[in-house]
Amino acid sequence: MNPIPPSHLLDALNWRYATKQFDPSKKIDEATWQVLEEALVLTPSSYGLQPWLFFVIKTPELRARLRPHSWNQPQITDASHLVVFAIPDKIDVPFMDKYLDRIAEVRGVGLDSLAFYRDMMLKDVITGPRSAWSKEWASRQVYIALGNFMTAAAIVGVDTCPLEGIAPLEYDSILDLTAKGFHTVVACAAGYRSADDKYASSPKVRFEMSDVIQHL
């Protein structure tokens, strides 16, 4: 792995902003989009459980139906791509065991060698204290994926806009997520900024480093 220069990362993060106007004529090429999907897959999560499913909404008709339930934000229909970040309705034993099966497959180990890890997850996320607020826990995990996606996009020169101004229940209904066993948390539009977006040249407003970072 060849690391990028630190300055390149800061350049990308300073360049990105929550894009308000996308250029509908500019589309993300397939190779770049595949990289961004891989970035979603590679997102870290607690225990590695990956309590999420990412829905890439390609159908223009679906996006048109979602827009009225998104404060009529034009990013929904104008951006090249729209991703809906969803969590499972249940994080249960079958969900956990599917992940353990994947570990065994990828690492070439027996399930018996994962017994301790299974018991640890079982007594925490599945039947333990965390199980009482597992949906909130899963939602927090999804935001890790959202941040990872936006940072990855900025590094490859793709604009994004996180969208919390949506009606999750309406999204669930339109996308038939309830039948799939999932629930909408947040969305993110991706594409390329319009030359008319005045926010592109607005100075980025952040607190001073000393206001948000303390060394103890």
pLDDT digits (tens, 9 = 90+) for 63-83: 999 999 999 999 999 999 999
- Per-residue pLDDT of 70-123, as tens digits, reads 999 999 999 999 999 999 999 999 999 999 999 999 999 999 999 999 999 999
Question: Other C-beta atoms within 10 Å of 78: how many?
Answer: 20
How distant, in Å, are the alpha carbons of 9, 36, 98, 133, 194 from that of 102?
32, 22, 6, 25, 42
Nearest to 120 by CA among 128, 111, 131: 128
- Residue 78 identity (one-letter amino acid): D
- In three-state secondary structure terms, 207 is coil
Question: Model's pTM, two decimal places?
Answer: 0.97
Q: What residues contact residue 62 under an 8 Å CB cut-off, 6+ apart?
A: 174, 175
Residue with tokens 């891989």, as numbered in its chain: 38
User: What is residue 138's three-state secondary structure?
Assistant: helix
Which domains, from first to last, does the chain contain? Answer: 6-193 (3.40.109.10)
Q: pLDDT for 118-155, tens place per residue?
A: 999 999 999 999 999 999 999 999 999 999 999 999 99
CA-CA distance, 18 to 191, in Å (whole number)? 11
Mean local confidence (pLDDT), 35-45: 98
